[in-house]
Amino acid sequence: EADIYQTPRYLVIGTGKKITLECSQTMGHDKMYWYQQDPGMELHLIHYSYGVNSTEKGDLSSESTVSRIRTEHFPLTLESARPSHTSQYLCASSGDTTPWYGYTFGSGTRLTVV
Amino acid sequence: AQSVTQLDSQVPVFEEAPVELRCNYSSSVSVYLFWYVQYPNQGLQLLLKYLSGSTLVKGINGFEAEFNKSQTSFHLRKPSVHISDTAEYFCAVSRSGGNFNKFYFGSGTKLNVKP
């Protein structure tokens, strides 16, 4: 049973629309992450958060923004979607800063911008 | 900087045959190594991890991996695969990054188990 939830699972949207991808976790984890996943490519970290009111950009530049107003919620927003934003977006969380503590991943949102 | 290389993008194998999925990493510091599995239309699930100690690590679903420091490898193996093992497998390296634990993922290997 998943403890981290992403909605929607699939989204097809027109160019120029504003979208928000939701991510919620019930584990009380402080650390949360957004990864972008393209077929045959590495997962790329685009945003992360240490805790409430803290957000940072990841290794891969992204036009998306994130917020962390509540511990359990880490939404990702695209103000104006473009076809280049078509990808799968994975949310993850972890409960510790130690490097051996694995992530818990959500099921992902597959975004298609037409 | 860390990087993770998974040389095989796809591995076809027949059911009950053994399989090895290769992973090599580069790092100038000690790292922690992980394998994740992604079943179709699902998120990533932790398969196993190497932190320290014995270089042979056993994970879920009968998978195991061996850490080889001299060859900077962490290959994943299973002696006999099932149809249900069809999935994409990601090798990952983790290092301490101050306030968070940062992961570097390989590009994935798709395991296709045929009857």
Tell me the chain A residues in contact with residue B36 when contact means C-beta distances shorter than 8 Å.
105
8 Å CB contact between A11 and A18? no
- In the predicted model, is pLDDT for residue A23 greater than 60? yes
- Decide: B82 and B62 in contact? Cβ < 8 Å: no
Distance from CA of B81 to the nearest CA of A (A): 23
Contact check, Cβ <8 Å, B49/A45: no
Phi, psi dihedrals of residue B61, rounded to the nearest 5°: 60, 25
Residue B90: burial class (beta carbons within 10 Å; 0-12, 13-18, 19+): buried
pLDDT in tens, chain B (115 residues): 568 999 899 999 999 999 999 999 987 666 789 999 999 878 889 899 988 888 899 999 999 999 998 899 999 999 999 999 999 999 998 875 555 567 888 999 999 999 9
Contacts of A62 (CB under 8 A, 6+ apart): A36, A46, A47
Say yes or no for a CB contact (<8 Å) between B95 and A99. yes
List residues in chain B touching A: CB distance below 8 A. Answer: 4, 9, 31-32, 34, 36, 41-46, 49, 51, 90, 94-108
Res. A79: pLDDT tops 90: yes
Give yes or no for A52 touching B (CB within 8 A): no
Cis bond upstream, residue A8 (ω within 30): yes
CA dihedral B8, B68, B72, B62 (to 10 degrees): 30
Q: Under an 8 A CB cutoff, do B49 and A6 touch?
A: no
